[in-house]
Amino acid sequence: MSSSLFAIILYMGIHTNHNLRFQFVSSYGRKDGAGGKAPNDVRIIAKQLGFAEIQLPPRNAANLLSRSFALLHWFVKCALVCFKFPPQGEALVQYPSGFMAGHLGLWFLKVLKKARNARIITVIHDLDSVRSWAYDDNWKALPHDEFAELNSFSDVIISHNEFMSELLRAKGVSCGIIDLQVFDYLLDKPVDSRIESNPDYRSVVVAGGLGIQGREYLRKLANVPGVFWHLYGTNFDDAAICGPNIQFFGAHEADQLPSVLNGSWGLVWDGDSAETCSSWGGRYLKVNNPHKLSLYIASQLPVIVWDKSAEAGFVRQEGIGLLVSSLLDIPQTISGVNAEIYKEYLTNVRRLSQQVCSGFFMEKALTNAESLLLHLSA
């Protein structure tokens, strides 16, 4: 079906729903990891703000016949959505999303904008072209395809932080941009206030994916003297990650993790080296808001982060932890922390935890995005 014929069909519809704010919802990740936690939290926060949910089917299936039916289902569903979508209505899109797999999702959003003059707010979860970039870390040679795609349908983008926003601008994104600062981590029941019983503060939590590929630094944790590592997550390999100072506590559902994490600090690190955040994972930390930072804040754990990461400034500004250039610096850095300093970190992270667990940051970003939409359309 050509886009012009599709647009004609759209214009034949008479909209009967007076709501002007919608969000497109697709299926999200597994329960024993954080893959689906962030988009589900955004969905809940947006719904609380009045964005009605529109379910769009993901475009993945196991075999050719199933894929054919899935594609037909997708076309019918998207046609009905556009058929009923109000002129100049707002649409919230989480990027990337299952319904946008391939080029058809992009085509759908472009048709929606053309046929209904929809105003689209895009929440970025990941920039895959940046995350997988394998060459240098100045991003100059990055292909523009993903950035051009975002720019083609977005009216306002909610970016992770100022560094990601600078990258978007440098790659030609011209729509409005709002900085999120940190992802929220919604919890039905707040975590009990953490009471530190370890007087030397040497236990450090590492939570998340524990697969070695792309995270060779995990092999080297045993070589960091005077630190006890508490690991939580999926794909743990006890043959590759082992040592007398390493203990594995299993994989837990994302909503349960904050209540089970046990340690003095939460580590945000990535890449193949203990001496710096290297390779694609480390470089990505220069623009990314890692969701495990939100997990640690929700868990009321002070954090240890790479001093060149995008979130280093946020951690310093909020007074919630330590900045290090190498994992090998952790023992000496921790040795300078006394009870009074640690208590201040705990006080600050408890305050921030209340905001993160209630959706404060995404609610603020969505509100600012809507204000920017009004300004841009004035």
One domain, residues 15 and 156: yes
At 102, the amino acid letter reads G
Q: What pLDDT is stored for residue 137 in this prediction?
A: 57
8 Å CB contact between 203 and 263: yes
Contact 302, 266 (CB under 8 A): yes
Confidence of residue 74 (pLDDT cuts 50, 70, 90): confident
Q: Which helix (H) or strand (E) holds 257?
A: helix 257-260
CA distance linking residue 370 with residue 354, whole number of Å = 24
CATH number of the domain that 12 lies in? 3.40.50.2000
Helices (H) and strands (E) in the chain, counts: 14, 12
Residues 6+ apart with CB under 8 A from 313: none
Over residues 230-238, the mean pLDDT reads 95
- Do the Cβ atoms of 199 and 261 come closer than 8 Å? no
- Extended strands (E) in the chain: 21-25, 52-55, 90-95, 119-124, 156-159, 176-179, 203-207, 228-232, 246-248, 265-268, 303-306, 321-324
* One domain for residues 221 and 353: yes
Domain assignment present for residue 191? The answer is no
24 with 114, same domain: the answer is yes
Average pLDDT, the chain: 87
**331 vs 327: CA distance, rounded Å:** 8
Q: Where is mean pLDDT largest: 134-138, 217-221, 278-282?
A: 217-221
Domain boundaries, position 207: 203-358
11-60 tens-digit pLDDT? 443 344 467 899 998 865 444 445 689 999 999 999 999 999 998 877 66
How long, in residues, is the chain?
A: 378
Co-location of 143 and 252 in the same domain:
no
User: Could you tell me if 253 and 155 lie in one domain?
Assistant: no
Counted domains in the chain: 2
Task: For tokens 């300078």, name the residue.
Answer: 336
pLDDT band at residue 1 using 50, 70 and 90 as cut-offs = very low
* The pLDDT of residue 141: 62
Degrees to nearest 5, angle at CA 160 with 158 and 161: 110
- Looking at the structure, do residues 8 and 76 belong to the same domain, yes or no? yes
Of the listed ranges 100-104, 123-127, 181-185, the one predicted with least confidence: 100-104
CB within 8 Å of 239: residues ≥ 6 apart: none
In a domain, 86, yes or no: yes
Full-model pTM = 0.89
pLDDT of residue 150 exceeding 60, the answer is yes
Does the residue 189 lie in any domain?
no
Return the pLDDT at 135.
56
Give pLDDT tens digits for 289-346.
999 999 999 999 999 999 999 999 999 999 999 999 999 999 999 999 999 999 999 9
344 and 364 assigned to the same domain: no
Q: Which two tokens stand for residue 335?
A: 């040795």
249 & 302 share domain: yes
Q: What percent of the chain has pLDDT over 90?
A: 67
Q: What per-residue confidence (pLDDT) applies to 80?
A: 83
Whether residues 365 and 346 fall in one domain: no
CB 39 within 8 A of CB 70: no
CA angle at residue 158 from 214 to 170, to 5 degrees? 70
- Asked if residue 58 has a cis previous peptide bond (ω within 30° of 0), the answer is no
Please say if the pLDDT value at position 136 is more than 50. yes
Average pLDDT of the residues in 196-221 = 87
- CA distances for 62 relative to 59, 65, 67, angstroms: 10, 9, 7
The span from the CA of 70 to the CA of 182, in Å, is: 35
Mark whether 222 and 248 lie in a shared domain. Answer: yes
Identity of the residue numbered 16? T
pLDDT number for residue 227: 96
82 domain-assigned? yes
Asked if 216 and 138 sit in the same domain, the reply is: no
